[in-house]
Amino acid sequence: MKFAIITHVEHKFKDNKWIAYEPYVREMNLWLKFVDEVKIVAPISLILPFEIDTTYNHNSLTFEKIPSFNILSLKNSLRSVIVIPNIIFKIFKAMRWADHIHLRCPGNIGLIGCFVQILFPNKPKTVKYAGNWDPKSKQPLSYKLQKLILSNTFLTKNVKVLVYGEWKNQSKNIVPFFTATYSKNECISINQKDFLNEIKFLFVGALSKGKKPMLSVKTIHKLKSKGYNVKLQIYGEGEERSVIEKYIVDNDLQKEVFLFGNVDKEQIKKAYQQAHFLLFVSASEGWPKVVAEAMFWGCVPITSNVSCIPFMVGNGNRGTVVNPNIDDIISLIEKYLTTEELYKKHSENAVEWSQHYTIEKFEKEIEKLLIH
For 67-123, what is each residue's pLDDT tens digit? Answer: 987 766 677 678 888 899 999 999 999 999 999 999 999 999 999 999 999 999 999
pLDDT single digits (tens) 229-273: 999 999 999 999 999 999 999 999 999 999 999 888 899 999 999
Where does the chain have alpha helices with state H? 22-32, 74-97, 108-116, 141-151, 213-225, 241-250, 265-274, 289-296, 309-312, 326-338, 340-354, 359-371
Q: Does the structure show a pLDDT above 70 at 286?
A: no
pLDDT band of residue 325 (cuts 50, 70, 90) is: very high
- Please tell me the CATH code under which domain 2-179+359-371 is placed: 3.40.50
Identical topology for domains 2-179+359-371 and 185-354: yes
Q: Which CATH architecture has domain 185-354?
A: 3-Layer(aba) Sandwich (3.40)
Taking all residues of the chain, what is their mean pLDDT, rounded to a whole number? Answer: 93
**Extents of the domains making up the chain:** 2-179+359-371, 185-354
Q: What is the pTM of this model?
A: 0.87
- Phi (first) and psi of residue 173, to 5 degrees: -65, -25
Distance, in Å, from the CA atom of 179 to the CA atom of 173, rounded to the nearest integer, reads 19
Return the half-sphere exposure (C-beta side, CA atoms, 13 A cut-off) of residue 89.
8
